[in-house]
Structure 1
Amino acid sequence: MNVKMSQAVDQFSDKDVVPDYTILSHRWMEGEEVTYQEFIKDQEQTRSKAGYKKILRACQWTLVMGGQYLWVDTCCIDNGNHDEIARNIRSMYAYYQNASFCYAYLADVRTHGDFTSSEWWERGWTLQELLAPPRVHFYDKKWRQIGSKHELRHEIAELTDIPQEVLSVDVLERMSWTTGRETTKPQDRAYCLMGLLNVSLKPNYEEHLPFVSPQPK
């Protein structure tokens, strides 16, 4: 989305040169998130949602950082288009990896001391959102900065069992980091790993995918 133009969601094809953009990592709030259709219509009911206010604050931070574009999964993906959903799921890791900056919004954190108790650490999708971006900054409920991934690396490593040097970690160990994490849809337990494991498959939410969590070493 173009943060300098209200309710503007710019489209870029694979052939376009994509400008620098920031990206949001967050825990979805049931019934409060803003869909693509709701965002572009800009109705009063939509503006009253907590998810809309969350998007506005992320836009404000993007402007502060001198940026123009922000990507948010809830309103930048047309969830009524199954092909678009599948394409975006396959590209999700790349979206976070190529972002110039990632805002990790912890809506259930009120103080720095609550940082490690956030539900954000228990979700399946947030694993790649932690590892893929070159720069991740964490924010509390009121959008106050908690610190960066680099500044908090010791706390993060202790909490997640993810070593600070992760580039050469093997597949089984990467999969073991998902232990204790949850996803709303059972199939997402597999799909949220695709970017981390460098695999690609077409998501199908009508099929049953058995999933066995590997044990950490």
Structure 2
Amino acid sequence: MRLLHSSRLEMTYFIADEDIPPYAILSHTWGEEEVSLQDWQSLSSSDINFKRGYSKIKRCCEQAQHDGLEWAWLDTCCIDKTSSAELSEAINSMFRCCMDVPALEFNLARSRWFTRGWTLQELIAPANLIFFSMDWRPLGTKSQLHNILSSITGLEKKFLNSKNLELASIAKKMSWAASRKSSRIEDTAYSLLGIFDNDMRLIYGEGKRPLRDSKKSY
């Protein structure tokens, strides 16, 4: 697993699970000019700073430091997406988590974060999840906002805790994802792997086939 040091802004790859230190995770929706691992490795610091996606990396690391965490993980720059093996490993183990709503407009329902496929598991999985605005003002924790989160997502409050997922039927889990969209059609299935406690062979380019295969698995 590759992590970003929150103060030095250096990447380190941890091979053994027992060596992985505590870290913060950024859950977000992708936008223009995200910083990839290849950008991080090849571009100068000044060039990276000019990319729009850099600001969320910087603010995530600052927040991690504030919370006493030395490391951070972001799916944009901590995964080598040119490596099918690394991408597959990351997706199959990604059951993990910020936000994109203006701080002064406390209307979470308008956030695009709730419409994306990957963010469903990122809502359910963490025991400690803090929502932030675009300018990184804290909006509240998952436990503090459980009523509005339940209303927005259709998840009963008990299912906002991943420990209770086994109590949810397959049909209920599928209903949570029904209105969510993914940029790639394969991710419609891949983003549900953690919720169904399953893994599968990842091959992008198969179109709807992963959806058919995942239905056969359950």
TM interval, short-chain normalised: 0.7 to 0.9
Point out where structure 2 has 5 or more consecutive residues left out of the alignment.
Answer: none
TM-score (normalizing by structure 2): 0.87
Point out where structure 1 has 5 or more consecutive residues left out of the alignment.
Answer: 97-101
Percent identity of the aligned residues? Answer: 31
- Contact 1:109–1:118 under 8 Å retained in 2: no
1:158 aligns with 2:161: no
For 2:127, the equivalent position in structure 1 comes to 134
CA–CA distance in 2 between the matches of 1:87 and 1:5? 26
For 1:5, the equivalent position in structure 2 comes to 8
- Contact 1:26–1:120 under 8 Å retained in 2: yes
Question: CA distance change for structure 1 residues 161 and 15 in 2, over 3 Å: closer, same or farther?
Answer: closer
For 1:122, the equivalent position in structure 2 comes to 115
Question: CA distance change for structure 1 residues 194 and 68 in 2, over 3 Å: closer, same or farther?
Answer: same
Shift of residue 14, structure 1, vs aligned partner: 3.3
For 2:51, the equivalent position in structure 1 comes to 49
Deviation beyond 3 Å, 4+ runs, structure 1:
none
Q: Greater shift after overlay, 116-125 or 9-18?
A: 9-18
For 1:39, the equivalent position in structure 2 comes to 40
Q: Greater shift after overlay, 197-206 or 12-21?
A: 12-21
For 1:74, the equivalent position in structure 2 comes to 76
Shift of residue 110, structure 1, vs aligned partner: 4.3
Shift of residue 81, structure 1, vs aligned partner: 1.1
CA–CA distance in 2 between the matches of 1:117 and 1:109? 10
Q: Deviations over 1:132-180 (max 9, x none)?
A: 0111111111111111111110001011110011212122211110021
- Contact 1:86–1:203 under 8 Å retained in 2: yes
TM-score (normalizing by structure 1): 0.88
CA RMSD of aligned residues (A): 1.7
CA–CA distance in 1 between the matches of 2:128 and 2:106? 22
Question: CA distance change for structure 1 residues 18 and 115 in 2, over 3 Å: closer, same or farther?
Answer: same
Q: Deviations over 1:45-76 (max 9, x none)?
A: 22111211110000000000011010000000
- Contact 1:124–1:181 under 8 Å retained in 2: yes
Question: CA distance change for structure 1 residues 206 and 64 in 2, over 3 Å: closer, same or farther?
Answer: same
- Report the residue type matching 1:146 in the other structure: L
- Contact 1:112–1:146 under 8 Å retained in 2: no
Shift of residue 209, structure 1, vs aligned partner: 1.9
CA–CA distance in 1 between the matches of 2:12 and 2:173? 34
- Report the residue type matching 1:172 in the other structure: A
CA–CA distance in 2 between the matches of 1:16 and 1:10? 15
Question: CA distance change for structure 1 residues 186 and 135 in 2, over 3 Å: closer, same or farther?
Answer: same
Aligned residues: 202
